[in-house]
Structure 1
Amino acid sequence: MSWLLRRINSPHAPVVIALLVLVGALALRIADPGALTRIRDFAFDGYQRIEPREYNPETPVRIVDIDEAALEAYGQWPWPRTIVARLVDKLTEKGAVVVAFDAVFAEPDRSSISRMIQDLVVVADPDTVEKLAAAVEDNDKVLADAMARSRVVTGFGFDVKGLGAPPRTFHGVAFAGDQPSQFLPQQGGTVKSIEILEAAAKGNGSVNTDVDSIVIRRVPMLFRVAGYDGLFPALSIEALRVAQEASSYLIKSSGASGELSFGEKTGIVAIKTGALEVPTDGRGRVVLYDTGHKEERFISARAVLRDEVPAKALEGQVIFVGTSAIGLKDLRNTPVQDGVPGVEVHAQLAEQMLEQQFLARPDYADGAEFLYLAAVGLLMVVLLPLLSAGRMAFVAAILIGAGLIVPWLAYSRLHLLFDPIYPPLTLTAIYVGGTALAFMRTERERAEIRGAFGMYLSPDLVEQLARNPGLLQLGGEQREVTVMFTDVRGFTTISEQFDPQGLTRFMNRFLTPMTDLILSRKGTIDKYMGDAIMAFWNAPLPVDRHAARACDAALAMQARLAVLNEEWRVEAVAEGRKHIPVNIGVGLNTGLASVGNFGSTQRFTYSCLGDAVNLASRLEGQCKTYGVGIIVGHRTREAIEAYATLEIDLVTVKGKTEPERVYALLGDAALAKSPAYAALVGQQDEFLRLYRSGAFAEALEMIGTCRAAADAAGWRQRYYEMMRGRLDELIDDSPVDWKGVYVAKDK
């Protein structure tokens, strides 16, 4: 088992699996068991259902149908031969070229008066009986005379119990190439029409069509019978031979002049009779190119017998006489339709031969499919380790799609049959077999990474690491990020209310919703530092509008904190202790930073470093100084111009030499459109102008007006109280070199 697991975990395992699938599929294709043949047949049936042969009513083939109406008018089948003789005469009078019976007249007519008279011998004088019999014409003789006046093809069937001589043949046979008998299907015995009718006919053909399967897909045009020389034709091609008054069949087989067989006995190629040449498969079969059942082919025998059919409907037609009556059970299944009258199969085959419309599976089809499968399958095996999953899926879709589309085009455009199932199915198995193993191994690696890092990295980062474990290397990249630092004001005082377990619960209740708000806006949690949070946006994955998302998160955190404070107040009252409101400061800054895995080879973490990160930390610290909830740097403010921000000062923070223009974030774009916010901005701009110009007394006088404007805009702050104290100090001790820049004393 361990050996197997090692092999499965091997980088080459997907290729090995795919190659084994290919080799096994090729071996199965060489064996070509019956199941594969049936699958191909089902596919070809599907093609014909999608695009059947178009029926052409101009083709001179019709069916005289012994239908329900005819049976109702003339009684059950078999009819007296005198009625059948009258049917033949009517068809002949109206110009039918040939009349082919999809029926076997295997016994004398029991309804013949001559036969019934002979039964009187037991009760009457033999001489009298003989005279009566001589005076009445036999029904079979009547039919034979009608056949002699016409061109009639009688039918015979195959039966292993068939006894006596084989059916009579009316044709000669010649062949070019290999002896055709070795390729033709052999039948055990036959059931034929009685001799008087055979002798009067001009041809004799097999009525059997379903010699291979219950679905009629291929019908042999010639047969051989065990123990007899000679070849016996199918009813359809025999009818056309008689219609042309041709005397023989010419069979072209492998090895004939102009037929390439490369020394192989590939079978029969075509059968010619008269002016018609019929291409066949190697066993002399024609593939039924099915139109489905068409009522236009049928003429009721009752209408013919009653002279209700105009001569032009029958003149020059090849007539097949058969039945569609359900009770006679001559119904067959074809590729397009079930329960089709058997006679319609003969008629369709005759139509195909006259129209020269044939479906063919070429001799080279098996070899072409094998080579295609081997070449394309090997190409997929080679490409599996070279292409990414997405590209391999695209290539596999093209190759598999070609295996589906090309056979369809060959069918619809050229009437050629190529397997649309086995090659694409094998290619799919190769792709699935190879990629599934690679996918399983990758998913196992991803699960390990998720388990190792999912507890303290953002879901986006975990997924990126799972998809690309190579990121778990020391190093970084330069990228613009928006960084957030948050801190709880007066945390020491708050923590004194709780024991260790209570403090843990308190921090979980605070940090969990704050974390959710950050992650839901595509932020990455960098670390928790006691009560503080560091997060950033636009790394490791690109985030559109990252500065705006960070601001949305900060505003949502302040709103959520208000809800939490109310919950904590209610709990404090219930527990009889003093409630200390929790306030947080949030610093946001946007700028370039180095992002990646930082630390040592023993332990590292994904983080961001740089001046922009340090400034975000300093801005968070200034929230306490300025008495506001959220401070953003000027780069962040430039990225969120639609939001409600208010410039509050020019500050040189600890560790910096250049001043930073800092802004309080009051609200989103909706607040920025309010008149109260516009009024506050106007007051604040004038206040800062006076403050920076050194007009400290005038600026001090504006504090009350600015506070009122802030209250009207809904901005909760202690900023103006802080500025009042600063202005008092500046008035008492005005600096000589005042430039309007405040130098921060604390971080």
Structure 2
Amino acid sequence: MMRGGRFADAAFGRKQLIALIALVAVGAGIAIGLSADKAIWEGWVTDRLFQMRAMIKGVDSTAPAPVLVVGLDQTSLDSDRLAPIPRVLMAPLLAEAGQALLDAGALAVGYDFVFAYSADAFADPSTGEKRLSGFDQPFQRYLYKNRGRVFIAHTEIGVPHRSFTAAAGEGGVRSVIVSTDSDGVVRRHDPDLPLADSPHLIDALMAKAGGRVRESYTAIPASRLATSVPYLSLLDVLTLLENDAGQEQLAQFARGRIVLFGGLLPYEDEHLYSDRFLPRLPLELAEQGPSGRPRVQPQTAGVFVLADFIGAALTGRFAVEPPVGLLQGLAVVFAVGGALAGLLLPLSALPFVAIGGVAAGLGLCLAGLEIGFLIAPGVAPVAGVSAIVVSAVGKVGILQRRQRSLVRLFGHYMAPDVIKHMARSEQLPELGGETRTVVVAFIDIVGFTKMSEKLADTEVVRVVNVCFDEIGKVITKHQGYIDKYIGDAIMAVWNAPNAVDNPEQASVDASAEIIDLIEHLREVTGQEPLDLRIALNSGPVLVGDIGGEHRRSFTVMGTTVNTASRIEAVAKDCKVRLAVSGSIAEKLPETYPLTKIWSGQLRGLSSDIAVFTLDRPAMYMEQPDTGSAKSTDKLTALKR
């Protein structure tokens, strides 16, 4: 459990900084997310959502298809019946086919042809004789007879011949112009109300079928239109008229449907449409005539696009703009979530969170399609990802920079791991701690008292600082932690507060390297008599904070520490630079040349211990005279 203290009060500015970063991240996420609405890439994502929807739901071949397309395709033009006739002279045949479909039960007929020329006006260039006079009268009579049920097209650059316009009457000529999104793809239709009076062919035919759409909408195709829209070639219609069975089959195609005539020749009147990524309806499930269908082109024929807009509106297979405020609300929710994730989660987890946020945003868009709303697919994901990026950059660039500075600053006085924990939590650790097995080292500068008597105070400080700095580098290199400085000695610990895999070996290796520094230390300090003595012991200790609310220290305490201090006296008496307890010796590899220098019971302990050193020349200050009475007295004193 953590408790507040002065550190938390001093760091309150960090809390304010977190709040500021969160606010900036949320604001940036909302702004960037909303700017993604109507972005040029958003249409591509929308089309992919249609593809995902089709993959999930499958192609429903039983759904009603209110529009029949009759195509002037290559099969018709190559047939024996139509091959001799120029396309510009096919108006009578189109009239015959249209009337047959109306008689068979079609609700209305629309022609995606402009009929810009009339054969009646053609004259022989040499004689001026109008040899085709009256050729188009069947088509004109057909238009006049079916005013209000038959519509012909005009485009931006093409209008019907005046004779056809007159025959069709007021409202008989409608626009087949479709608008594209910013990426050049047709997706949306904007109806003009009332539909019956609209200038658009789509609206006029919708009105004839009882359509009630009232606002801009996006059709949601379920498969490639060229494979799924009910289809007859012009040749099929003319052929089916020749017998009763064919006429009955024609009635099955036409009854209760809107009929659209259009050109199906490759690369003529084709558009990029949102069906281009969708699966194809299997041939056996498609409604089609004896001649089959033209092959599917990369782009979609204009007559199929018109048919899909009409069919989608009549069957409810479309989506409209979401209610006011929904996009803004989603942007806020995802931006807040992204900001919190960027601030609270580790950086390694953020890519996965971002991917999850994008998936969640697209999932909401898919769900919106099912209830008839086209939610801009870029708003929520972009808001979430933008907020994640901004908050993560703020955390790394500002908060973690402050934290690193704090660790560097106070790491000279306390364990870096402890500082990091306090920096993250903004609280002081609770007094007390945990029991852990560690290695405790006492590293003493030998002869410091005599040396300090001969030197000025500033020089003493310089010598000590040089020694402690060089020794500290080695301790840190071997994963040790300097617990405290005690006059001319260092107390170091391995395996607290940081974990060390093999603290016994690490401490011995560090000690050997420190002893190898003696000649270097003598040279840089100018103190030839300078020497070092190191005592090591391992065992359980209490690791944690001691003190009070106003002053405390991170340290280790216990019998293990006291024993290490007394082993230093053994080292001093045995005239060795390194003395290690048996608990350390038994954990070292066999390659370490250990030799026992003392065994017995130290003062204050209830059991015997053995003390060892590395059997290397550098470990001995001089060969100890263990047989002398003076040495015996000292060893006896250690046991009291």
> Shared topology, TM-score over 0.5?
yes
Note the C-alpha offset of 1:558. Answer: 1.0
Q: Which residue of 2 aligns with 1:104?
A: 114
Q: Which residue of 2 aligns with 1:116?
A: 123
Q: Which residue of 2 aligns with 1:155?
A: 152
**1:210 and 2:207 matched:** no
Aligned with residue 219 of structure 1, among 189, 194, 210: 189
**1:553 is matched by which residue type in structure 2?**
S
Contact 1:369 1:419 in 2 (8 A): yes
Note the C-alpha offset of 1:593. Answer: 3.0
Distance 1:65 1:532 in 2: 101
Aligned with residue 609 of structure 2, among 661, 666, 687: 661
Distance 1:359 1:521 in 2: 69
Distance 1:216 1:238 in 2: 20
Note the C-alpha offset of 1:555. Answer: 1.7
**1:196 is matched by which residue type in structure 2?**
F
Distance 1:611 1:142, change over 3 A: same
Write the mapping of 1:713-732 to structure 2, written as runs, cut at 5 A: 722=624, 725-726=625-626
| 3-state SS in 2 of match to 1:623 | helix
Write the mapping of 1:176-195 to structure 2, written as runs, cut at 5 A: 191=159, 194-195=162-163
Deviations along 1:683-740, one digit per CA (max 9) or x if unpaired, are xxxxxxxxxxxxxxxxxxxxxxxxxxx7xxx898669965xx546769x99x9xxxxx
**1:404 and 2:361 matched:** yes
Q: Which residue of 2 aligns with 1:141?
A: 137
What is the count of residue pairs matched by the alignment? Answer: 577
Distance 1:652 1:520 in 2: 34
Distance 2:407 2:602 in 1: 39
**1:549 is matched by which residue type in structure 2?**
P
Write the mapping of 1:275-290 to structure 2, written as runs, cut at 5 A: 280=213, 282-283=214-215, 285-289=217-221
Note the C-alpha offset of 1:339. Answer: 5.5
Contact 1:218 1:288 in 2 (8 A): no
Write the mapping of 1:234-245 to structure 2, written as runs, cut at 5 A: 235=201
Distance 1:506 1:322, change over 3 A: farther
Q: Which residue of 2 aligns with 1:359?
A: 318
Distance 1:194 1:523 in 2: 99
Contact 1:588 1:620 in 2 (8 A): no
Write the mapping of 1:471-482 to structure 2, written as runs, cut at 5 A: 471=428, 475-480=431-436, 481-482=438-439
Distance 1:19 1:470, change over 3 A: closer
Distance 1:137 1:557 in 2: 117
Distance 1:380 1:417 in 2: 23
Q: Which residue of 2 aligns with 1:537?
A: 494
Contact 2:72 2:265 in 1 (8 A): yes
| 3-state SS in 2 of match to 1:524 | strand
Write the mapping of 1:479-558 to structure 2, written as runs, cut at 5 A: 479-480=435-436, 481-488=438-445, 514-528=471-485, 532-541=489-498, 543=499, 545=501, 548-558=502-512
Q: Which residue of 2 aligns with 1:738?
A: none
Contact 2:73 2:264 in 1 (8 A): yes
Distance 1:495 1:333 in 2: 91
Contact 1:539 1:595 in 2 (8 A): no
| 3-state SS in 2 of match to 1:103 | coil
Note the C-alpha offset of 1:48. Answer: 2.8
Note the C-alpha offset of 1:410. Answer: 0.5
Note the C-alpha offset of 1:459. Answer: 3.6
**1:479 is matched by which residue type in structure 2?**
T
| 3-state SS in 2 of match to 1:116 | coil
Note the C-alpha offset of 1:535. Answer: 1.4
Write the mapping of 1:180-579 to structure 2, written as runs, cut at 5 A: 191=159, 194-196=162-164, 199=167, 206-210=175-179, 214-220=184-190, 223=193, 230-232=196-198, 235=201, 248-250=208-210, 271=212, 280=213, 282-283=214-215, 285-289=217-221, 291=223, 294=226, 316=253, 320-322=261-263, 325-326=266-267, 330-332=270-272, 334=274, 340-349=300-309, 352=312, 356=315, 358-361=317-320, 365-366=323-324, 389-390=344-345, 404=361, 406-411=363-368, 416-423=373-380, 442-443=399-400, 446=403, 449-450=406-407, 452-471=409-428, 475-480=431-436, 481-488=438-445, 514-528=471-485, 532-541=489-498, 543=499, 545=501, 548-559=502-513, 561-562=515-516, 564=517
* More RCO (CA 8 Å, sep 6+): 2
Distance 1:45 1:220 in 2: 19
Distance 1:579 1:249 in 2: 110
| 3-state SS in 1 of match to 2:153 | strand
Q: Which residue of 1 aligns with 2:291?
A: none
Contact 1:597 1:606 in 2 (8 A): yes
Distance 1:502 1:65 in 2: 106
Distance 1:557 1:520 in 2: 11
| 3-state SS in 1 of match to 2:179 | coil
Contact 2:439 2:503 in 1 (8 A): no
Distance 1:141 1:627, change over 3 A: farther
Distance 1:34 1:610 in 2: 64
Note the C-alpha offset of 1:219. Answer: 1.7
Distance 2:73 2:454 in 1: 104
Contact 1:488 1:584 in 2 (8 A): yes
Distance 1:605 1:717 in 2: 33
Distance 1:528 1:486 in 2: 10
Superposition TM-score, scaled by structure 1 size:
0.56
Superposition TM-score, scaled by structure 2 size:
0.64
Contact 2:68 2:231 in 1 (8 A): no
Note the C-alpha offset of 1:404. Answer: 1.6
Identity of aligned residues (%): 19
Write the mapping of 1:634-649 to structure 2, written as runs, cut at 5 A: 649=598
